[in-house]
Structure 1
Amino acid sequence: MKLSKLLNCLNEYTVGTSQYSDVNITGIQMDSRKVVKGDLFVAISGFESDGHKFIEQAIVNGASAVVGEQSLSLKVPYFIVNNSRLALGRLASMFFDFPSKRKKVIGITGTNGKTTVSYMLKHILESNGFSTALFGTVSYTVNNQVYESTNTTPNPIQLQELLAKSLDEFAILEVSSHALTQARIEGLEIDYGLFTNLSHEHLDYHGNMQAYFKAKASMYNFLKPDGKALVSEFDFWGDKLSNVLGRKEIPVRTLGCSGNHKLIIEKINLNGETEFTVAIAENNYNINLPCPGLHNVYNAALAFLTAYEIGINPKQIVKALESFPGVPGRFEVVQHPRGAKFIIDYAHTKDAFEFCLQTAKEHKAKKITHIYGFRGGRDKMKRENMIKASSSMCDHFILTLDDLNGIEKEEMLNELSKLNLQFGQNKGKVIADRTIAIQTAWKKAQAGEWIFITGKGPEEYETEFTLPVSSDKEVLTYLQEGISEHFA
């Protein structure tokens, strides 16, 4: 694409070079190491490094032009913008010919439930003959090809490139608050914007709940002219969002358990099964969900409402939900030879903990054990409430290591010990090695006990532990294969 045409997507810029030749651009990069001849390099002022420091390296590697925020004198065409992040998203969308215009895009934001709702929707759509791309925490799937997930929401170049490659009719995107504040979806257009819930998370990044909410709400700035908002009003923030969107005259479809909603959840039965009824358009539909827990009722109801708005027959939606196979690392159950259940879940907030642990109570667990830790360099403010939730709902819990992210091991262990002493109610202990913590619970597991291992889900370990495994699931597989014969 000619540089002059590509620049049409930018509202304004200053030409930072005395000479401006209309070169042909063959690619866009934000990483100077990936630049090849013919690329446009966009210098981003990042949190750990400043892309402007690597402009010369990008030019050496073949960059034909550069976009940045600083006044510089370069030997290639250079354009100064107010915000390189916004420019990158718009340039990537323009370069790949606005791929989100050519398909139906579903954006899902919220603290908990994004991944489960996205997988439920993918299953419903594909069960009804629609090809579907998926971008989220677990992986990216395009044209049935699976790519490793680098972030919950891809960077603008990767997102627009994969959307351009996609021949899928629908694209489902988990939209994180970090992605929204970092302009990763700039240039994207969304048909259906979904909101799950909001709870204490990422306040080390956003500062407070109002700023966190504002970041989430900004996803609706990317709706297409005929786009719709679908909002779960099961908490204060959902109700607040509906009011905000209503004032902007954005069409809003809400769901709840009572009141004036497009979809109402009725007759919830969680006693050993997960059954509920949804009422919509003066019709009732009974659903027997294979995923346990009230939180999954809410997730399924949001997926149902979205599929209904898309135009899928409600009976076919029910059929798909009742055959939903689940999500890797989301309430993934592994049976112990003695009759205990080990559950792997990504839960890493107080609310998510309570959803999981309450589900065990609803299913009459004889004993509840919880194994988890905290990631280094993340929101410390939520840790006290997470331990309080675990200690109040569990019979026993084990604090262990998660990803340290540059924090010293002893520093993290000291914090775990201190939190356990303050808020553990004499129910917890600290075992530094995550694999040994799980092995300890495995050896002691009894019939009817539910043991939750939370925080990582399907993710691989970044820290090296004792057992020769790379994830929570692999620990359990290792223990099953190595120990199960003793319990035959």
Structure 2
Amino acid sequence: MKLTHLLQGLTLQNSIEENLFDLGIQGLADSSQEVKEGFIFIAIKGFKEDGHNHIVHAIEQGASMVIGEQEMDGLPVPYLQVANTRIALGILAKNFYGDPASRKIMIGITGTNGKTTTSYLIKHLLEQNGISCAVMGTIQNIVNGASIKSANTTPSALVLQQLLSLSNDSAVVMEVSSHGLTQHRIEGIEFDVCLFTNLHHEHLDYHGSMESYFAAKSILFDHLKPAGTAIINIDDEWGTKLNRNLLQRGFNVCSIGRTPDSRLRIRSLDMADSTVHLEDPEQTIIHSPMAGIHNMYNSIMAYATATSIGVEKEDALRTIKNFQGVEGRFETSKTPNGAVVIVDYAHTPDAVYHCLTTAKESGAKRIIHIFGFRGDRDTTKRKEMIEISSRLSDHFILTTDDLNSVSAEEMQTLSSELADRYGNDKGAVEMDRTTAIQKAINESSEGDWVVITGKGHEKYSHEFQLPTGSDKETVRYMMELAESE
């Protein structure tokens, strides 16, 4: 591609020689390791590495041009300076791959909890009604029906445009994280539908405050097409604020909630059979395919999305009922002794609350809850998570999640202190995650629920005593062990 086409929409802070506009560009890279002959290297200043320190290596690899934020002279290749290389990367990638998002129905979902389940519900509803749909999110990226490993909830701008260019799908549903928004990973993309699920205590180690966290989430709606639709849960206080802001800006908003001014008003939620009754002339009933009030809201959001882009109401209501669920989201097993085991990704206070509440409402005689904390991650939510678990479970076990740079000894001491201080004598500490699960299952009896939260679909990042690599594998191992005895 000619450089002149690649630079469209990009504001430069230095001049460029006229003869360079016809320069042929073979590719883009934001890692010097990925640079090939004829590529442009975009120097991104990250949290651990600064791409400006790798410019020499990129040129040695064959970069024919470098784009960065710092003033720089004396390079053997042309250097273009911009104010923000993350934004520049999005614009360049969009131009290089021919703006593939413009040829698709683009759906973006943000919020603390429910993004993954809602995205898979939307994919199910669309594909059951003849609209092929790609998914980009936490568990994996699914493009043209094939699974591609996901490194981040929201891929980098370059990876995202690459995936979009590969996709032959008619629609794309994306989980859009607050990190991805503040780091401009969706730069250059406009959405037909944007969803806001909820906002709860999470990532405050990164954002600093709930207000900053909300501001980050709100960025998604700056990418909504003028004729697009915003779908907002206004039973969430932050959703109410977002709804008001968007209406003031003249956006088309489908608000969801119990209040009279909700566009899609909820008349009642029936926990016994997971049904949502809407307040409309047709007395619409949505049958949520999953238990729990949080999944009822996820189902409403998915239903609203599907109908907003052309799926007939009756078809959406019919097909939502046969959704099979999502890996690592309230996955249920039953032990030979009659206990129920749940594996769930819940790792925020609100998500833990809904997970344990759903277990109670589903008839759990006794709840044993297993969870842990991630080293170097938001420490301010730990007290609340323990208090919720001690209130809703009969016994909890604090164990290892991802330690990151924190030692096992330090985390064990911290977990013990937290359990003693806030656990109401219901807690214990077992740092080997597989042993914790083993103990809980062995101690359970008919009617008990063993609820394992925090990892969900994720693989373990540490080796434990049992020869397993995830919570699901550990549960399966225990089932097979019990059946062989």
Instruction: Name 1:34's counterpart in structure 2.
Output: 34
Post-superposition offset of 1:18: 11
- Does 2:305 correspond to 1:309? no
Give yes or no for contact 2:113–2:351 (8 Å, CA) kept in 1: yes
Opposite residue 245 of structure 2, the aligned amino acid is V
Opposite residue 396 of structure 1, the aligned amino acid is H
Post-superposition offset of 1:233: 0.9
Gap change, CA 1:287 and 1:224, over 3 Å in 2: closer
- Does 2:178 correspond to 1:171? no
Aligned-partner SS, 2:284: strand
Post-superposition offset of 1:17: 8.4
Post-superposition offset of 1:288: 2.9
Opposite residue 462 of structure 1, the aligned amino acid is S
Distance 1:213 1:453 in 2: 29
Opposite residue 255 of structure 1, the aligned amino acid is I
Distance 1:145 1:438 in 2: 32
Instruction: Name 2:469's counterpart in structure 1.
Output: 470
Opposite residue 264 of structure 2, the aligned amino acid is L
Instruction: Name 1:70's counterpart in structure 2.
Output: 70
Give yes or no for contact 2:3–2:20 (8 Å, CA) kept in 1: no
Instruction: Name 2:274's counterpart in structure 1.
Output: 274
Deviations 1:118-144 (A, max 9, x none): 000000000001000000001000111
Post-superposition offset of 1:19: 8.5
Distance 1:10 1:373 in 2: 45
Give yes or no for contact 2:11–2:82 (8 Å, CA) kept in 1: no
Instruction: Name 2:157's counterpart in structure 1.
Output: 156
What is the aligned length?
Answer: 484
Distance 1:79 1:190 in 2: 30
Distance 1:469 1:236 in 2: 41
Instruction: Name 2:198's counterpart in structure 1.
Output: 197
- Does 2:61 correspond to 1:44? no
State the superposition RMSD in angstroms. Answer: 1.4
Instruction: Name 1:334's counterpart in structure 2.
Output: 333
Give yes or no for contact 1:15–1:78 (8 Å, CA) kept in 2: no
Distance 1:319 1:427 in 2: 44
Instruction: Name 2:392's counterpart in structure 1.
Output: 393
Distance 1:196 1:250 in 2: 18
Deviations 1:313-357 (A, max 9, x none): 111111111101000000000111111111111000110011011
| Superposition pairs of residues 79-228 of structure 1, within 5 angstroms | 79-228=80-229
Post-superposition offset of 1:14: 1.3
Aligned-partner SS, 2:400: coil
Instruction: Name 1:240's counterpart in structure 2.
Output: 241
Distance 2:267 2:61 in 1: 61
Instruction: Name 1:9's counterpart in structure 2.
Output: 9
The TM-score, its normalising length taken from structure 2, stands at 0.98
Gaps of 5+ in 2: none
Gap change, CA 1:268 and 1:414, over 3 Å in 2: same
Give yes or no for contact 2:286–2:300 (8 Å, CA) kept in 1: no
Distance 1:263 1:344 in 2: 32
Opposite residue 459 of structure 1, the aligned amino acid is E
Give yes or no for contact 2:336–2:482 (8 Å, CA) kept in 1: no
Opposite residue 104 of structure 1, the aligned amino acid is I
Aligned-partner SS, 1:108: strand
Opposite residue 182 of structure 2, the aligned amino acid is T
Pick which of 341-350 and 18-27 moved more: 18-27
Opposite residue 374 of structure 1, the aligned amino acid is F
Gap change, CA 1:327 and 1:198, over 3 Å in 2: same
Distance 2:279 2:410 in 1: 52
Instruction: Name 1:364's counterpart in structure 2.
Output: 363
Gap change, CA 1:18 and 1:50, over 3 Å in 2: farther
Post-superposition offset of 1:13: 3.0
| Superposition pairs of residues 282-301 of structure 1, within 5 angstroms | 282-301=281-300
Pick which of 308-317 and 232-241 moved more: 308-317
Instruction: Name 1:322's counterpart in structure 2.
Output: 321
Distance 1:270 1:277 in 2: 11
Give yes or no for contact 1:377–1:406 (8 Å, CA) kept in 2: yes
Instruction: Name 1:456's counterpart in structure 2.
Output: 455
Instruction: Name 1:429's counterpart in structure 2.
Output: 428
Deviations 1:435-459 (A, max 9, x none): 0000001111111111111111111
Deviations 1:289-319 (A, max 9, x none): 2310000001101111111211211111111
Post-superposition offset of 1:20: 4.5
Deviations 1:192-244 (A, max 9, x none): 00000000000000000000000000111111221111101111101000011
Distance 2:268 2:178 in 1: 33
Opposite residue 472 of structure 2, the aligned amino acid is K
Opposite residue 424 of structure 1, the aligned amino acid is G
Post-superposition offset of 1:38: 1.2
Give yes or no for contact 2:12–2:80 (8 Å, CA) kept in 1: no
Give yes or no for contact 1:65–1:76 (8 Å, CA) kept in 2: yes
Post-superposition offset of 1:16: 7.7
Opposite residue 212 of structure 2, the aligned amino acid is A
Opposite residue 463 of structure 1, the aligned amino acid is H
Distance 1:49 1:195 in 2: 32
Distance 1:384 1:428 in 2: 13
Give yes or no for contact 1:16–1:71 (8 Å, CA) kept in 2: no
Instruction: Name 2:262's counterpart in structure 1.
Output: 261
- Runs of 4+ residues deviating >3 angstroms: 15-22
Pick which of 100-109 and 289-298 moved more: 289-298
Aligned-partner SS, 1:14: coil
Give yes or no for contact 2:2–2:21 (8 Å, CA) kept in 1: no
Opposite residue 167 of structure 1, the aligned amino acid is N
Give yes or no for contact 1:16–1:80 (8 Å, CA) kept in 2: no
Give yes or no for contact 1:257–1:264 (8 Å, CA) kept in 2: yes
Aligned-partner SS, 1:317: helix
Distance 2:137 2:469 in 1: 21
Distance 2:19 2:466 in 1: 61
Opposite residue 65 of structure 1, the aligned amino acid is M
Gap change, CA 1:229 and 1:21, over 3 Å in 2: closer
Deviations 1:86-122 (A, max 9, x none): 1111111111111111010000000000000000000
Opposite residue 39 of structure 2, the aligned amino acid is D
Give yes or no for contact 1:68–1:81 (8 Å, CA) kept in 2: yes
Post-superposition offset of 1:247: 1.6
Gap change, CA 1:21 and 1:259, over 3 Å in 2: closer
